[in-house]
Amino acid sequence: MNAVRACALALALVCASVPVVAQQREGVNVGKRSAFTNLVPAQEVEKMAGQQYKQVLEQADSKNALAPPDNEELKRLRTIAQRLIPFATPWNERASQWQWEVNLIGSKQINAYCMPGGKIAFYTGILRTLQLTDDEAAMVMGHEMAHALREHARERMGKSTVTTGAARLGGALLSGWLGIDPNLTDMVAQQGANLLNLKFSREDESEADLVGMEIAARAGYDPRAGITLWEKMGANNKGAPPQWLSTHPASGTRIADMQAAMPSVMPLFERARAAQGGKP
């Protein structure tokens, strides 16, 4: 597919996404998934994710850093996942077909992720450094699951396809019509593409916060733990760059957004907790 056709297809897909009045539902409202996901086959993204996840586990295992099944921290994470996963499918029908996995890697990294297809990894650093409670760990896991469910990686790949095609097309046109160095136009276009991805990455993080908080709340985990989680994150990242230079919203912004959404998710948590007999 040449650059002109790629750009035309992307424009058609975006324009075709006419807003539809959604049925009233409980919980957060983050809108429809991006039309850019339609540019990249979900099966291919999930296949690549599975291969990369396997490589990560093999590397960790070769360094004796992969937690065995009887590891207490790993069992704790898998218990949390078992409660969250049933509430994933409403956010993405493909999730019912995913082969979900949860693994724990020994590392000081304060990190966790869920790859497309439901491949979850936590690092011991995030559990131990932040001393996460079960509710806070559920907020982290729900957030990472939300990235996969909302197909943020697939969306970014779609955007990259469009911006790369547009950059090449723009460079060729300017070079041919105006005699401008194509290397210069390509460089400018790449910077524009990076800024576009930066913007959407921040939005993706904010969206994942809210979706993850709802999933965890429906599973009976206290959504207010999202506030304490990001207070801990903020204290641990005092040297972090300002929000406009980061792909992640500042901790204060995330906390404010979650506080605003609290009235939408607290009833879900209270109902779930009541159904569990008040047990944590």
CA distance 13 to 158: 11
Report the Cα 48 to chain-centroid distance in Å: 16
Three-state DSSP state, 114: strand
Strand segments, DSSP code E, in 23-88 are none
Q: Are 138 and 84 in contact (CB under 8 A)?
A: yes
Phi, psi of 205 (to 5 degrees): -65, -45
| Element containing residue 79 per DSSP (H, E) | helix 72-84
CA distance 114 to 122: 9
- The phi-psi region of residue 231 (left if phi > 0; otherwise alpha if psi is between -120 and 50; otherwise beta) is alpha
Residue type, 275: A
Residues in the chain: 280
> Which of these, 148, 155, 13, lies nearest to 84 by C-alpha position?
148
Catalytic residue among 46, 144, 205, 214: 144
Q: Residue 260 to residues 68, 161, 201: CA-CA distances in angstroms?
A: 40, 35, 21
Strand arrangement of the beta sheet that strand 119-123 belongs to: 101-105, 119-123, 112-115
* Residue 144 annotated in active site: yes
Q: Are 121 and 53 in contact (CB under 8 A)?
A: yes
Structure tokens at 247: 């792909």
Give catalytic residues, as residue numbers.
144
